[in-house]
Structure 1
Amino acid sequence: MRKAVFVVITAIIFFSCGKAENAVPSVPVNFRASKTDPRLAALNSPGGSVAISGYGVAGILIYRRADGIYVAYDRCSSYQPEKLCAVSPDESGFTATDPCSGAKFSLSDGSPVKAPATRSLRVYSVNVSNFEIFVSN
């Protein structure tokens, strides 16, 4: 009996100790811009989104939800992130699409809304002052 318990526990430990695959790498992000920056003009109204290159893994995507809250995601798709496919906002204003796989993600919370993606986009913190937007992790 003790041997069987030992084998089961060993098997659980062996199979649960794996490398986390398909995770968007964590890289330092520190984006700051004035709310009047022309690159951010689309954020002046709810439902607006902007893609900013040069930050995160594949750029960052900032979205202003209908309730006025700003959210930010890494543009690197969570489906096969090693391919570095950058999601782009759709014309609908509610989702972003991975051009490599066709996966779609909600801009409201970054969650996957169309297969093959099963993980949410990497989320970054957004702080807004009267005159500036800060995105960081």
Structure 2
Amino acid sequence: MRSRFLLLLPLLVILAGSCKDSNNSPIIPTVPVSAQLNVNSQLYPDLRQDGGYAYLPEGYKGIIVVRQNAGSYLAFERTCTYDPGNDCKLEVDPSRLYITDPCCGSQFNLQGQVIGGPAISALRQYRTSLVASTLYISN
């Protein structure tokens, strides 16, 4: 019996070492978010066109609001999922085709999905609700 255990021990060690948490992305701190903005305001002229965006100060490092179309807006945390502890804030590229992290170079499409690493996880997305011209953003 003891010899069988000694033969199985290396196999058990290998199997235990191969188990990994499938979500190995660093943790982005959760902060309460309850923001609102008027999408027709002179403060946010880019939100009047599809693909337009605005930065808000709420959230952990801020929020990027992206207009999908006249009735649909998405809101993302400005923290990269690769290294939330760095000092960088995500920015919309001047081409307005994607969001980038100037520190690590990760790129995300305007729906928050990874299109270039080293990040492997999508951006943290906040809930949005449009009532008349007021956009409500929360977590």
Q: TM-score, normalised by structure 1?
A: 0.81
Map of 1:112 onto structure 2:
114
Q: Can you give the 5+ residue segments of structure 1 that lack an aligned partner in the other structure?
A: none
* Structure 2 portions without partners, runs of 5+: none
Equivalent residues of 2:35, 2:137 under 8 A apart: yes
Aligned length: 133
Return the alpha-carbon distance in structure 1 between the equivalents of residues 23 and 129 of structure 2: 33
Structure 1 residue runs of 4 or more that deviate by more than 3 Å after TM superposition: 15-21
Q: Which of structures 1 and 2 has the bigger CA Rg?
A: 2
- Aligned partners of 2:72 and 2:130 also within 8 Å: no
- 1:42 aligns with one of 43, 46, 50: 46
Matched, 1:69 2:78: no
For 1:58, the aligned partner's letter is K
Counterpart CA distance in 1 for 2:23 and 2:69 is 38
RMSD between aligned residues? 2.9
Q: 1:127 to 1:76 in 2, by over 3 A?
A: same
Provide the residue aligned with 2:34 in structure 1: 30
Q: Taking every aligned residue pair, what percent have the same amino acid on both sides?
A: 28
User: Tell me, what secondary structure is at the counterpart of 1:39?
Assistant: coil
Mapped contact 2:100–2:108 kept (Cα < 8 A): yes
